[in-house]
Amino acid sequence: MTSGWQDYREVLRTGSAARPFTAAVVARLPIAMAPFGTLLLVEETRGSYFVAGLVTAAYAVGVGVGSPVWGRLIDRHGQARVIAPTVTASAVLLALFALATAALAPLPLLVALVAAAGATSPPFSSAMRMSWRVVLPPRLWRTGYALDASAVEALFVGGPLLLSVLLPHLPPAGPLLATAVLHVTGGLLYAGSRPARLPPEAAVPLDGALGALAADDPARRAARVLTPPLVAVLAVGLAMAVSFGFVDTSLAATAREVLQDEARLGVLLGSIASGSVIGGLAYGLLAHSPAERRRLPVLLAGFAAGLAALAVIVDGGAPLHLTMPVLFATGLTIAPSLILLQALVDALAPDGRRGESQAWLSTATVTGGAAGTAIAGLLVDRGGPALALGAGSGALAVAVVLALTAQPSWARRDVAAAVP
In sequence order, what are the residues at sequence separation of 6 or more whose Cβ sits closer than 8 angstroms to the Cβ of residue 258?
Answer: 314, 317, 318, 384, 385
> Can you give the pLDDT at residue 218?
37
Task: With beta carbons less than 8 A apart as the criterion, state whether 272 and 396 touch.
Answer: no
Weakly modelled stretches of the chain, pLDDT under 50: 1-2, 202-222, 415-420
> Can you give the pLDDT at residue 281?
85
Smallest Cα–Cα separation from 116: which of 90, 152, 86? 90
Smallest Cα–Cα separation from 263: which of 340, 167, 346, 181? 167
> Can you give the pLDDT at residue 287?
67
> Can you give the pLDDT at residue 222?
46
> Can you give the pLDDT at residue 223?
53
> Position 419: which residue type?
V
If you write DSSP's letter for every residue of 30-91 in order, what string do you get? HHHHHHHHHHHHHHHHH--HHHHHHHHHHHHHHHHHHHHHHHHHHHHH-HHHHHHHHHHHHH
If you write DSSP's letter for every residue of 11-34 in order, what string do you get? HHH-HHHHHHHHHHHHHTTHHHHH
Residue 213: give its domain's CATH number: 1.20.1250.20
> Can you give the pLDDT at residue 232?
92
Which letter does DSSP use for residue 138 in this model? Answer: G
> Can you give the pLDDT at residue 219?
34
Torsion of CA 303, 306, 311, 316, to 10 degrees: -170
Q: Which domain holds residue 300?
A: 2-418
pTM for the structure as a whole: 0.76
Number of domains forming the structure of the chain: 1
The CA distance from 370 to 65, in Å, is 12
> Can you give the pLDDT at residue 203?
38
Smallest Cα–Cα separation from 118: which of 42, 11, 26, 38? 38
pLDDT in tens, 101-137: 988 999 999 999 999 999 999 988 888 878 888 888 8
pLDDT in tens, 183-227: 999 999 999 888 888 877 543 343 333 333 333 433 333 456 778
> Can you give the pLDDT at residue 156?
67
∠ CA 351-352-356, rounded to 5°? 110
> Can you give the pLDDT at residue 416?
43
